[in-house]
Amino acid sequence: MKLVFLHNDFKVYWRGRLYFLHDFFMKKNIQVHVIEIFGNESPYAFDQKAREDDWWDCLFETEQFSELTTSEVKQKIMNRLDEVNPDILIAGPIPFTSGAIGMQWAYKRRKKIIIFDDSKHSHYNRNFLVNFIKIYLIKLAYGILVPSEDYDSEYARWNIAKTNLYYGLNCIDNDYFHSKRKEFFSNSKNIVCVGRLVKIKNLEALLNSWKSVEQLDAEYQLIIIGDGPENENLLDLKNKLGLARVKFLGNQNRRVIAKILAHSDAFILPSFLEGWALVVNEAMSACLPVLLSNRINAGHTLLLDGVNGYSFDPYQPEQITEAILNYIRLSEAEKIKMAKSAYFSVEKYNYAYLGNQLFKAIHELKQKKTKRLSLLGLLLLSKWNGKFKTANWDTLK
């Protein structure tokens, strides 16, 4: 049995998952091969760690998108999949090159395919035709890997049965982040935010809300980790507002982020939209209560309002301020209780959970008959090749 994971890029969070899954399935006599399509122009381009494993390919390591045509990308993907010849293909979302061309290959070669996706498609404004095509193509998958059971209702509205869904897509090395924490509550008076400095993260609203916090609280500090095109604008806004207790630390590596989380009291993320936001898993594994926008999918699964954090509407800045102050005003005993709840809420979502769910999927897919395309399916699949860029979350659409 051979599995191939195919996606536009597998940087940052995907690395840990794939190395775990490679070893996990090796123990079960199942081979894992990774095909990463692009090495450039990722939203995580800062991750330049070299890959030297013979089971991991990158098809276009240095090329820019502008240098590539859809036909040559498609041909190279098809050729490499033919060479590796997996029994089951596990590919990225249908809107992207990996999902679209992966689906074409699977049906051409009469192989089974699992699509992974952490987006909630109801959050995006698409016209009827585009929505119809994407739903139709998603239904061609033999299984769909999503983060959690919170996604069941999303797929139920498309008449995709729960039996076709598998869970645990968005997980991290929980133990690594938890191990850096010496106690559930440090009383450091730090609230931390980690994320790309882009418009969709809604950090201007966070800074404006923090102005009110500084006027009402004399101790807590806001730490912002990350870099991006909004860096200068946010620094200018910080100075304009006269914020005395806000620190911008720029990009930091995993080790430094884990250390900062371990010495913070709470985590905040005010994004207008997030497919998931794995940094939430990291924060909760480090025993941090989370203050989250209600447009962050991780919060729909992991956040219990008032129990392990607070939720707010990102379009209502006063709610951001209220969530921060609600946390700050808790007693130490209440903060400790909330920190413990945060850790235990995320504990389930680990690499082993993902591995076991995929192993279950493989077993069940082996029992399923190979599907045949209808004429409509053949037409739609032949016309849709997906898109190269995975950075659409940088802007609100």
Please give the mean pLDDT across all residues of the chain. Answer: 93
Q: Identify the pLDDT of residue 209.
A: 97
Q: Mark whether 101 and 187 lie in a shared domain.
A: no
Q: Mark whether 330 and 357 lie in a shared domain.
A: no
Q: Identify the pLDDT of residue 182.
A: 87
**Which of 88-92, 224-228, 320-324, 385-389 comes out lowest in average pLDDT?**
385-389
Q: Mark whether 190 and 109 lie in a shared domain.
A: no
Mean pLDDT of 143-172: 96
Q: How big is the CA angle at 285 (ends 345 and 189), to the nearest 5 degrees?
A: 105
Domain boundary among 330, 346, 362: 346
Q: Mark whether 206 and 167 lie in a shared domain.
A: no
Q: Identify the pLDDT of residue 127.
A: 76
Structural domains in the chain (count): 2
**For the chain, percent of residues with pLDDT exceeding 90:** 84
**For position 59, which CATH number holds?**
3.40.50.2000
Q: Mark whether 263 and 163 lie in a shared domain.
A: no
Q: Mark whether 222 and 152 lie in a shared domain.
A: no
Q: Mark whether 221 and 194 lie in a shared domain.
A: yes
CB 271 within 8 A of CB 290: no
* Span 20-49, pLDDT tens digits: 999 999 999 999 999 999 988 766 655 666
Nearest to 135 by CA among 382, 380, 387, 391: 380
Q: Mark whether 107 and 156 lie in a shared domain.
A: yes
pLDDT band at 132 (very low <50, low <70, confident <90, very high): confident
Q: Mark whether 116 and 133 lie in a shared domain.
A: yes
Mean pLDDT of 331-342: 97
Q: Identify the pLDDT of residue 214.
A: 96
* Span 243-295, pLDDT tens digits: 999 999 999 999 999 999 999 999 999 999 998 999 999 999 999 999 999 99
Q: Identify the pLDDT of residue 389.
A: 65
* Span 141-156, pLDDT tens digits: 999 999 999 999 999 9
pLDDT band at 393 (very low <50, low <70, confident <90, very high): very low
Q: Mark whether 354 and 336 lie in a shared domain.
A: no
Q: How far apart are alpha carbons 314 and 148 in whole angstroms? A: 23
Nearest to 327 by CA among 296, 319, 316, 300: 319
* Span 204-238, pLDDT tens digits: 999 999 999 999 998 999 999 999 999 999 999 99
Q: Identify the pLDDT of residue 129.
A: 80
More confident site: 394 or 297: 297
* Span 47-105, pLDDT tens digits: 666 667 999 999 999 998 888 999 999 999 999 999 999 999 999 999 999 999 999 99
Q: Identify the pLDDT of residue 46.
A: 56
Q: Mark whether 140 and 217 lie in a shared domain.
A: no
Q: Mark whether 233 and 323 lie in a shared domain.
A: yes
Q: Identify the pLDDT of residue 122.
A: 72
Instruction: Residue 338: give the domain boundaries.
Output: 174-346
